[in-house]
Amino acid sequence: MGTLVEVVALVMILEGILPMIAPNQWAKMMQSISLLSSNNIRLFGVILVVIGILILQFI
């Protein structure tokens, strides 16, 4: 359970870096993403999950 909490904490840190150092650019990026279709966003999510699984398998 401790490892899961550490992983969630690391994700939160990584997710918070960009809005902390460049909030205006982050907001523009979020606006751009919101204009994408649901299918494109879903595809991007699938790609990220697959890449994450591959990294975990080969590390």
CA distance 4 to 27: 29
* 1 pLDDT more than 80: no
CA distance 14 to 24: 17
pLDDT in tens, 2-57: 788 999 999 999 999 999 999 999 999 999 999 999 999 999 999 999 999 999 89
Residue 16 is predicted with a pLDDT of 95
Domains in the chain, number = 1
Q: Which tokens sit at 14? A: 């990584």
For the chain, what's the residue count? 59
- Which domain does 10 fall in, by range? 2-58
Residue 59 is predicted with a pLDDT of 83
Q: Which candidate, 40, 19, 15, places its Cα nearest to that of 28?
A: 19
∠ CA 13-15-21, nearest 5°, is 85
Residue 17 is predicted with a pLDDT of 96
